[in-house]
Structure 1
Amino acid sequence: MAHRFLMKEIALQAGLGLATVDRVLNGREHVREHTRQRVQHAIAELEKQQFQLATSGRKLVVDVVVEAPRRFSDEIREALESELPGLQPAVFRPRFLMQDTMTTAEVVDALKAIGRRGSHGVLLKARDVPDVADAIADLQQWGIPVITIFTDIPQSARMAYAGLDNRTAGATAAYLIGQWLARREGDVLVTKSNERFRGEEEREACFRDELQRRYPKLKLVDASGGHGLDAQTESRVKRAVGSGRKIVAVYSMGGGNVAILRALKSMGQTPKCFIGHDLDRDNVELLREGKLSAVLHHDLRQDMRSACHTIMHFHQLLPASAVGLSSSVVVVTPANIPQSVEQRFGRRSRPR
């Protein structure tokens, strides 16, 4: 297996022993395919981090464990990697475990494995369940700080939360939908990816409260549980809406907006207002096409910078005063898509 990195660097990145990496690199027998893939993945990550490897400073290896659809996990990775060069006086070496869906057991096993091999910190996006909270407590006992990102586990031993103020986001979505609709009655479709993601729960609770207080004639139709994945989300929307509902607005908290629109179109439904989250490729294209009314955006780079600064503070590389706040809610419409996003995604149309 061709590479240009020291074996100890590959072993550190892969979280494997030197002997195991040696067997993989030299093509020896009795090595599991999963182990070979871990080494290949580690080399690919090192290639992306070449600038970091040449930088002097305190080396911090951090593990990024994320359950999210690929479109959002790609955004998280891009945001973190964009921040790495500016995180002086530390040199961050991220190791990524990102999957569309993860069972509680898979998350717990991943956190236990991190504890066994060691880490300077964990950035975690996972469901708020007791077993995950227990695994966070174990890491804390081993001296490994955990920062929850984008969805919190507040009753755990996590050191901090970095991400959007989800309560404010939910209330903002309710206000926008109420203002957008000419007549304030009808059915509003809401979708969460999973009921165990605390951030989406907070969005939904504040959205529901604000809508009931301001616009009591708007009734909610819940199509949650599709994990933000297209096929599952589309199926749940069709089942929830059925034939007796008239959807006048949509608040999508968990993604899968292309699938939501496709499901509604198949039933002859065209919402007057559609609010989504995050400026990923799909949502930017939907904004340009006028199919999304607005996206509630937050600066992922600022959030990842805040998370990394918290880890640096834990390791006494920064004072507490240097740790910044998480990002605020920004309402993005087709008229104010940030120039940086336009440049990143260009004007290519999304495949049909």
Structure 2
Amino acid sequence: MITMKEIAALAGVSRGTVDRVINNRGSVNPETEQRVRSIIEALNYQPNKAALALAAQKKRILIGVVLFSANHGNPFFRDVLAGARHQEKKLAAYGCRILLRETAFDPQAQIEAISQLEAEGIRGLVISPCNDPNLAAKLNSLREAGIPVITTNTDLPNSGRLAYVGSNYYEGGCTAGGLMGMITGGAANVGIVTGSDLILCHSGRVQGFLDTVSRRFPAVRVLDIQKNDDDDFKSYEAVSRLMNRFPELNALYFTAGGVYGGCRAVLEYKKDRAVQVISFDDVEKTKELVKSGVINATICQQPFRQGSRPVRLLFDYLTTGSAPSPAVQYTETAIKIRENIGP
């Protein structure tokens, strides 16, 4: 098996330079890095994982985690955080620790949170990003500084991220469109309540729904799209506006959080008309609404895995240089109804 010393000799560089390339530490001339990587690939160099893991124990591996606030928004992210904390415990013996920051749907707040984490010495970042060019530029600057980024739950194009872990949100929207057609017999007047245009997974679920009902269920008519920032109070107001403005409304589609608040408005109007409801995720309040029959079906996406998997992938990358494969790792989509929603 070829060694780092031999790679260094072939490339005409020091062992330290080879180590920086293998472990993605940055501070290497791009041409030199390409020369070293070409040799590594040609000779099929495989790092000694046991030795690297032992070395990791001797130094801190700080991984920053930036999520949308569960306490002031979508409780879904409590399960994402639980997954990240679970993985942190499993890797604690190797010196791995996560540093958490929670923000609203605010790109500037996310940029500031990342800068704080940089100052604290993170070596990698997990983030649920807003769809914003300034944030994408910030993530690219991390990559250039040798700090790999994995996006979770929602992706960000052109950000230089190492990998994405989360649902296929367009497919989730298509699934919701198919469900809506099935439960309404292919004819309905639908109000859509989404979180924010700044979040790709929200807009992707809207687009998937629109494309599916347009193609398969032409009698399913979308009346309006309202935004709620994943907030129950805003969601209550949004659904109330829809119900008042459109007396013909008989179906609702929630793409993200704020489901409980929106369904409170549904219950107030339910005596006047039947409303079919499709939502995402199985947070506690949503489970209760499925069990009580207010929500017909909810589409779930493995939030725990969306927290645990990115932390593990970053740890492996930082300690062995092993890049995630594939770079896009979709979680499973599950449809839950009253009969399988669980306790």
User: TM-score over 0.5 for the alignment?
Assistant: yes
CA distance in 1, matches of 2:283, 2:210: 25
* Aligned alpha-carbon RMSD (Å): 2.5
Is 2:338 the counterpart of 1:334? yes
Q: Are 1:73 and 2:77 matched, yes or no?
A: yes
Q: 1:90 to 1:276 in 2, by over 3 A?
A: farther
| One-letter amino acid matched to 1:67 | F
Which residue number in structure 2 is paired with residue 127 of structure 1? 130
Q: Is the 8 A contact 1:250 1:271 kept in 2?
A: no
> Which of 198, 201, 206 is the matching residue for 2:200?
198
Distance 2:315 2:151 in 1: 15
Change (3 A) 1:320 1:141: closer
The residue identity in structure 2 corresponding to 1:66 is L
Which residue identity lines up with residue 282 of structure 1 in the other structure? K
In the alignment, the residues of structure 1 paired with residue 74 and residue 95 of structure 2 have an alpha-carbon distance, to the nearest angstrom, of: 26
> Cα offset for 1:132?
0.8
Which amino acid counterpart does residue 314 of structure 1 have in structure 2?
A: Y
Aligned equivalents of 1:131 and 1:320: distance in 2?
25
Q: Distance in 2 between the 1:266 and 1:299 partners?
A: 31
Partner of 2:15: none
Measured after TM superposition, the shift of residue 88 of structure 1 is 8.1
Closer/same/farther in 2, CA of residues 238 and 86 from structure 1, 3 Å limit: same
Q: Which amino acid aligns with 1:266?
A: E
- Match of 1:224? 226
Number of corresponding residues: 283
Q: Which moved more, 1:205-214 or 1:89-98?
A: 89-98
Aligned partner of residue 117 in structure 2, secondary structure = helix
1:248 aligns with 2:254: no
The Cα shift of 1:315 comes to 1.0
- Are 1:63 and 2:76 counterparts? no
Q: 1:263 to 1:218 in 2, by over 3 A?
A: same
Partner residue of 2:22?
none
Q: Against the structure 1 CA distance between its residues 222 and 313, is the aligned structure 2 distance closer, same or farther, given a 3 Å change threshold?
A: farther
CA shift digits 1:221-258 (9 cap, x unpaired): 33432111111111122223434332222221122112
From 154, 160, 168, give the equivalent of 1:151.
154
Instruction: Give the corresponding residue for 2:209.
Output: 207
Task: Calculate the TM-score normalised by the size of structure 1.
Answer: 0.73
Q: How do 1:28-47 residues align onto structure 2 when only pairs under 5 Å count?
A: none
Q: Does 1:97 align with 2:98?
A: no
TM-score, structure 2 normalization: 0.75
Look up the SS of the partner of 1:307 in the other structure: helix
Matches within 5 A, 1:159-174: 159-174=162-177
Is 1:167–1:206's contact at 8 Å kept on the other side of the alignment? yes
Deviations 1:86-121 (Å, cap 9, x if unpaired)?
44874431111123x243222111122222332021
Structure 1 counterpart SS, 2:221: strand
Checking the alignment, whether the CA contact within 8 Å between 1:252 and 1:277 is kept in structure 2 is yes
Quote the Cα distance in structure 2 between the aligned partners of 1:284 and 1:76. Answer: 17
In structure 2, the CA distance between the partners of 1:279 and 1:56, relative to structure 1 (3 Å rule), is farther
The alpha carbon displacement at 1:66 in A equals 1.4
User: Structure 1 residues 145, 247: closer, same or farther in 2, change over 3 A?
Assistant: same
Structure 1 stretch displaced more, 83-92 or 307-316: 83-92
Specify the alignment match of 2:298 in structure 1. Answer: 295
CA deviation vs aligned residue, 1:256-287 (integer Å, no higher than 9, x gap): 11211222333446554311111211111112
**CA shift for structure 1 position 126:** 2.5
Distance 1:70 1:208 in 2: 24
More deviation, 226-235/214-223: 214-223
In 2, the alpha carbon distance for the partners of 1:206 and 1:246 equals 23
Deviations 1:24-50 (A, max 9, x none): xxxxxxxxxxxxxxxxxxxxxxxxxxx
Could you tell me how far 1:321 is from its partner in structure 2?
A: 7.0
The higher relative CO (CA closer than 8 Å, separation ≥ 6) is in: 2
Q: Does the 8 A contact of 2:266 with 2:275 survive in 1?
A: no
Sequence identity, in percent?
20
| CA drift at 1:125 | 1.3
Question: Which structure's CA Rg is the greater one?
Answer: 2
> Which blocks of at least 5 consecutive residues in structure 2 are unaligned?
1-55
CA 331–318 in structure 1, closer or farther in 2 if over 3 Å, else same: farther
Q: Specify the SS of the correspondent of 1:335.
A: coil
Q: CA 1:258 to 1:271, structure 2 compared with 1: closer, same or farther past 3 Å?
A: farther
